[in-house]
Amino acid sequence: MLGVTPQIRLDHSIVGVSNWAISNRFYCDVVGAEVVPHGEPPRVAYRFGDTQLNVHGPGVDLSSNVARLPVQPGNSDLCFMWPGPIGDAIAHLAKQGVEVETGPVARLGAQGDGISVYFRDPDGSLLEFISYEE
């Protein structure tokens, strides 16, 4: 397959937040992140196994090594693999008080065909849980 180099994998991406405490709780409780402090407080990263979301938020100096249009709160679109049936993801979101915006719907993800549900983080970024166990 053209353009595929097997040893290259996504290491981290960026999400923007407007409130550290609210976002840290959400990404920990709803999405399952390990909140990893780094740099000067309040800077953290959200870690999911061997993949990480670096977090840009209030009070963090982003220097000049950022995208031409830096990530802003509410403008990310991220998909997370749910480790079970999508019905369990829906029940988890309901228990956390998070509304499913779309789904369940069939989607194509990194592991092939799956079933997804979509929801929003506190800033409005679109998040997705995809399950390959249907």
- The per-residue pLDDT for range 39-88, each reduced to its tens digit, is 888 999 999 999 999 999 998 887 778 888 889 999 999 999 999 999 99
Fold of 12-60+74-131: 2,3-Dihydroxybiphenyl 1,2-Dioxygenase; domain 1 (3.10.180)
Report helix, strand or coil for 127: strand
Share of the chain above pLDDT 70, in %: 96
Spatial CB neighbours of 99, under 8 Å, sequence gap ≥ 6: 93, 119, 120
pTM: 0.92
Residue-averaged pLDDT of the chain: 93
pLDDT score for 62:
78
Active site residues: 128
120 pLDDT higher than 60: yes
Strands (E), 32-125: 34-37, 44-48, 51-56, 77-81, 102-109, 112-120
pLDDT score for 81:
97
123 within 8 A of 17, measured Cβ to Cβ? yes
Parse the chain into domains and list their residue ranges. 12-60+74-131
What is the distance between the terminal CA atoms of the chain, rounded to a whole angstrom? Answer: 27
pLDDT score for 4:
67
Structure tokens at 31: 């999405």
